[in-house]
């Protein structure tokens, strides 16, 4: 029932008179502030690597890694153009480094992950330790740690950058600092952090070198793949995920980073998954094989064909379903740790 005309006029005058004091009536916006279910402005999207790669190579001709500081093409959500975001809390980009280049040392409060997409022989250095990049490796740059990248490879190396930039922007907590030298001095042998913390053991007397972030900053793909293969062979296959594992911080069993969770999963050949939805938006990188993902929200459905090195996003509370005829391996990351810390994470596994 509509309000009487005189009541409508009374309300309009109230709103007009109080506006100069920066006052807004809650009752006019309550439905949008507290919706019956998540209403993300983000949309599902796919970036085919065969379409993106030529632009990455052209960027290598247009600007050097040193000039750019980080030569990256941002994967922007189509509904968030201009915001440098793939979801409202996460950033994603594809970074290119060419033989002999150095992406100079800097540090920032934003946490970062690197997932290697193409090429061998590049490296990243974090707080004095260098790790060589191989396809499928997951590498962490903890908040406020010095890091640089370089390449001794014969060809281009590309990796996925995942950061919590939009999240820290929301909190107005972003700081950055450039290093004095292009490359930081290497003070520890390669593999030192994994030797200390990567074998279900830890030094008897140790602290948390990266605070709330995992002390292991490089998780090799070979070990992840071996675990997936063993579970596919010897354990039940999950009807929604296939075989899915989460990376952990060995010090506390939680996520490797305080703001981002990371996962690796394998869809067995012939897998037809059931649908799910969750409040944490997730970004995926196709590591091996082929498959398809259906993503549906508000009556709009997308079916994306998946091939190696493709990337896609499943926004918050979008219903998704995975399948693969020949088998497929997927890496993904999301903002789940923040949802869990705030007690707001919700997931539905649909039948």
In 10 A of CB 280, how many CB atoms? 25
The C-alpha atoms of residue 236 and residue 16 are separated, in whole angstroms, by: 63
Is the CB of residue 283 less than 8 Å from the CB of residue 348? no
Q: What is the pLDDT of residue 285?
A: 98
- State the CATH number of the domain containing residue 209: 2.60.120.10
Domain annotation covers residue 287: yes
Q: What is the span of the domain harbouring residue 52?
A: 45-349
pTM score: 0.95
Per residue in 148-193, pLDDT (tens digit) is: 999 999 999 999 999 999 999 999 999 999 998 888 888 899 999 9
Is the CB of residue 304 less than 8 Å from the CB of residue 264? no
Whether 1 shows a pLDDT value over 80: the answer reads no
Q: What is the pLDDT of residue 337?
A: 98
Provide the Cα torsion 132, 135, 136, 138; round to 10°. Answer: 30
Domain annotation covers residue 154: yes
Domain annotation covers residue 91: yes
Per residue in 55-98, pLDDT (tens digit) is: 999 999 999 999 999 999 999 999 999 999 999 999 999 999 99
Whether 344 shows a pLDDT value over 80: the answer reads yes
Whether 350 shows a pLDDT value over 60: the answer reads yes
The C-alpha atoms of residue 258 and residue 338 are separated, in whole angstroms, by: 7
Q: Which of 113, 175, 108, 188 is CA-nearest to residue 146? A: 108
Q: What is the pLDDT of residue 177?
A: 96
Domain annotation covers residue 8: no
Per residue in 315-334, pLDDT (tens digit) is: 999 999 999 999 999 999 99
The C-alpha atoms of residue 158 and residue 47 are separated, in whole angstroms, by: 15
Mean pLDDT of all residues in the chain?
95
The C-alpha atoms of residue 21 and residue 223 are separated, in whole angstroms, by: 60
Domain annotation covers residue 36: no
Q: How many domains does the chain have?
A: 1
Domain annotation covers residue 16: no
138-141 and 91-97: which strand pairing?
Answer: unpaired
Domain annotation covers residue 22: no
Domain annotation covers residue 39: no
pLDDT band for position 351 (cuts 50, 70, 90): confident
pLDDT band for position 202 (cuts 50, 70, 90): confident
pLDDT band for position 137 (cuts 50, 70, 90): very high
Give the H or E element holding residue 157: strand 157-163
Per residue in 224-282, pLDDT (tens digit) is: 999 999 999 999 999 999 999 999 999 999 999 999 999 999 999 999 999 999 999 99
């Amino acid at each position: 029932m509509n309000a009487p005309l005189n009541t409508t006029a009374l309300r309009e005058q109230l709103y007009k008179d109080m506006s100069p004091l920066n006052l807004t009536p809650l009752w006019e916006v309550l439905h949008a502030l507290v919706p019956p279910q998540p209403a993300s402005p983000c949309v599902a999207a796919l970036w085919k690597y065969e379409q993106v790669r030529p632009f990455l190579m052209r960027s290598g001709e247009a600007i050097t890694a040193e000039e750019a500081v980080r030569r990256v093409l941002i994967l922007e959500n189509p509904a968030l153009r201009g915001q440098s975001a793939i979801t409202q809390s996460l950033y994603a980009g594809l970074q290119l480094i060419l033989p002999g280049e150095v992406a100079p040392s800097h540090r920032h409060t934003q946490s970062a992950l690197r997932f290697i997409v193409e090429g061998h022989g590049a490296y990243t250095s974090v707080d004095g330790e260098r790790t060589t990049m191989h396809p499928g490796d997951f590498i962490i740059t903890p908040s406020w740690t010095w890091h640089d990248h370089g390449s001794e490879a014969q060809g281009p190396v590309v990796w996925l950058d995942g950061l919590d930039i939009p999240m820290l922007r929301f909190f107005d907590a972003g700081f950055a600092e450039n290093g004095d030298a292009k490359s930081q001095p290497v003070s520890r042998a390669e593999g030192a952090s994994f030797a200390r913390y990567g074998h279900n053991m830890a030094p008897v007397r140790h602290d948390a070198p990266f605070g709330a972030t995992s002390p292991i900053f490089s998780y090799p793909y070979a070990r992840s793949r071996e675990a997936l293969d063993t579970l596919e062979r010897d354990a039940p296959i999950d009807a929604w995920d296939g075989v899915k594992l989460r990376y952990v911080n060995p010090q506390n069993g939680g996520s490797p980073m305080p703001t981002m969770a990371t996962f690796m999963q394998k869809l067995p050949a012939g897998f037809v998954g059931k649908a799910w939805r969750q409040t944490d938006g997730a970004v995926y990188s196709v590591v091996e094989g082929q498959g398809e993902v259906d993503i549906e929200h508000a009556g709009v459905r997308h079916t994306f064909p998946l091939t190696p090195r493709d990337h896609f996003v499943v926004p918050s509370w979008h219903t998704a379903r995975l399948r693969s005829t020949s088998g497929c391996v997927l890496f993904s990351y999301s903002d789940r740790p923040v949802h869990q810390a705030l007690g707001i994470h919700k997931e539905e596994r649909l039948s």
